[in-house]
A and B are shown apart, each in its own frame.
Chain A
Amino acid sequence: METMNKNLFHGELVRLTLEDADRVAAAFSRWGQDMEYARLLDSGPVRLFSSSIMRQWIEKEYLGDNPGMVNFFIRTLADDRLIGFIGLGGIHWNHGDAFVGIGIGEREYWGKGYGTDAMRVLLRFAFEELNLHRVSLTVFEYNPRAIRSYEKAGFAVEGRVREFVHRGGRRWDMICMGILRREWEQMQRVSAVTQQEAA
C-alpha cells in the first residue's frame, strides 16, 4: 500500500542520492565488469574501466552541474546499500522532454521491484520538480525484465528501431517508450482513489 511521503527523493524501497565519487567509483567499476549488466545498459561496445577513470567520469557526469542532465545514485531504504543509478539526460527545457536511464548494478536486486520503485521516484521528480512534459527511454528487446518494469511505471511503447544492436551473433531491435505528463498524473489520481477506497 502506497503511503504519502513528502520527501521527493524517497520511494518505498529506495532513495535517490548524490555522493562523492570516492564512495561509489569502486562499485561502478565492479558493476561494469558484469558483461550482462553492461550489455543491458548500453549499445556501445562493453569496455572495462578502472576505479580511477570511473571516479573522473562520475565527477563529470554526476557532480559536474551540467544543465542538460540530472543524475542520482540509488540506495536501499532498508540497509542503505548502493545498488545502482538513475538519471535524466538530453533534457530539452524548451520542449519539456528528457531521456531517463537506469541501471541496477547489484544482481540480487534484479526482478524485485527496486528498479520500478526508483523509476517512480524519478518520474515524480521529473514531473513535479522539473515540470517536464514527457520522459522518454530506449530499451533493447533482449531486456524483457526492464520492459515490464517500465510498463508498470507507466511508459507506453512508441515503436521499434529495427536491428539497432548487433550482439552475440545476431541483431536486436531497440524499443522506444514514452510517458506524458497527463498519463503520469492520471496514474497518480487512480492510485490515490485506490488508496482511499481501501482505507
Chain B
Amino acid sequence: MMINAQLFEGEKIRLTPVDLERDPQAIAGWFHDSEFLSMLNLPLTLPRSPSQIKKAYEEIEKEQDEKSSVFNFMIRRKEEDNNTGGTLVGFARIFEIEWSNATGQIMLGIGDAHSRGKGYGSEALRLLLDYAFTEINFHRLGARIPEYNEIALHTFEKAGFTVEARSREALNRYGRHWDLILLGLLRPEWEKTR
C-alpha cells in the first residue's frame, strides 16, 4: 500500500465527513424506513426528526474528537459536479473501539433506497477495511448482523468476515425470534484478501 493512497476515494463512492447543515434532512428520511432500521438492528426502530439526527451526529463527532472510540464516515456517490462532494447515499462507522486490544465493531448502511444493489456497500466496506487495517492498525474487526439481513451477511462474508457466534433468539421482530450473528475478520485474514 502506497503511503499516498487516497483511502477515502473509491471508484463509485467516497467516504466523507458529515455535513451537519445538509445531511440531517436526508438521514431523517432513512429513519422513516422501518425496514432499513431493522436491517441495521438499531436497538429501537423509531423515526427521528432532522434536529434529533443533527444532535446525534454532533455527539458522534464529539466522541470521535475527545475519546477516539468511534470513527464515522458518510458515503457519497461520486458525481460529475464535485461541489458538494457527491450525493449522500449512506454511512459507515467503526465503533466500540478498544485501543489496548486493537479491536472495533463495524456498521454500515445504504440509507437511500434507490442507491441499493449497486455495490456501494461492498465498496464502502472495502475502503473502511483498508483504512482500519493500514491507518488505525486494528488487529480485528467485528460485526453484529441479524440473521434476516442476508444482503449484509453476504457483503461481509465476501469481504472476508467469518461467522464466529450466534446469539440465539436475541431478537424479537416481525412476530418471531431471530439469531444475532457475530462475524469477525482478523488482520492476517484481511491481508490474504488483498
Known: A133-B169, A134-B170, A171-B139. A44 touches B100 (CB 8 A): yes
| Structural contact, B186 and A162, CB atoms closer than 8 A | yes
Q: A residues bordering B, Cβ < 8 Å?
A: 43-45, 92, 94-97, 133-134, 136, 158-166, 171, 176, 178, 180
Mark contacts of B152-187 with chain A using CB atoms, 8 A cut-off: 1 yes-contact digit, 0 otherwise.
000000000001111111111100010000101010
**B43 part of interface (Cβ distance < 8 Å):** yes
| Structural contact, B170 and A161, CB atoms closer than 8 A | no
Chain B nearest CB: distance from A91 CB in Å? Answer: 10
Contact count A vs B, C-beta below 8 Å:
66
Considering only CB atoms, which chain A residue lies closest to B173 in the complex?
A95
- Whole-angstrom CA separation of A178 from B166 in the bound complex: 9
| Structural contact, A161 and B182, CB atoms closer than 8 A | yes
Considering only CB atoms, which chain B residue lies closest to A160 in the complex?
B164
Known: A159-B164, A162-B186. A43 touches B98 (CB 8 A): yes
Minimum-distance CB pairs A-B, first 10: A159-B165, A176-B165, A45-B100, A95-B172, A166-B101, A97-B170, A159-B164, A158-B165, A95-B171, A165-B101
Contact of A158 among B100, B140, B166 (CB under 8 A): B166
- Whole-angstrom CA separation of A176 from B168 in the bound complex: 11
**B20 part of interface (Cβ distance < 8 Å):** no
Contact of B164 among A43, A97, A136, A161 (CB under 8 A): A161
| Structural contact, A178 and B170, CB atoms closer than 8 A | yes
Contacts of B151 in A (CB 8 A): none
- Whole-angstrom CA separation of A62 from B33 in the bound complex: 36
- Whole-angstrom CA separation of A95 from B180 in the bound complex: 11
Chain B interface size range:
20 to 34
Contact of B170 among A44, A95, A166 (CB under 8 A): A95
- Whole-angstrom CA separation of A159 from B165 in the bound complex: 4
Q: B residues bordering A, Cβ < 8 Å?
A: 43-44, 98, 100-103, 139-140, 142, 163-173, 177, 182, 184, 186
Q: A44-B98, A136-B170, A164-B103 are in contact. List 14 more A-B contacts (CB 8 A).
A: A44-B100, A95-B173, A96-B172, A133-B169, A136-B167, A158-B165, A160-B164, A161-B184, A162-B140, A162-B186, A166-B100, A166-B101, A166-B102, A178-B170
Contacts of B102 in A (CB 8 A): 166
Chain B nearest CB: distance from A80 CB in Å? Answer: 37
- Whole-angstrom CA separation of A97 from B139 in the bound complex: 29
Considering only CB atoms, which chain B residue lies closest to A44 in the complex?
B98
Considering only CB atoms, which chain A residue lies closest to B100 in the complex?
A45
Chain A nearest CB: distance from B39 CB in Å? Answer: 15
Considering only CB atoms, which chain B residue lies closest to A95 in the complex?
B172
Chain B nearest CB: distance from A152 CB in Å? Answer: 19
Considering only CB atoms, which chain B residue lies closest to A158 in the complex?
B165
Contacts of A164 in B (CB 8 A): 101, 103, 140
| Structural contact, B172 and A133, CB atoms closer than 8 A | yes
- Whole-angstrom CA separation of A134 from B166 in the bound complex: 13
| Structural contact, A160 and B98, CB atoms closer than 8 A | no
Contact of A159 among B103, B170, B172, B182 (CB under 8 A): B182
Contacts of B184 in A (CB 8 A): 161-162
Contacts of A162 in B (CB 8 A): 140, 164, 184, 186
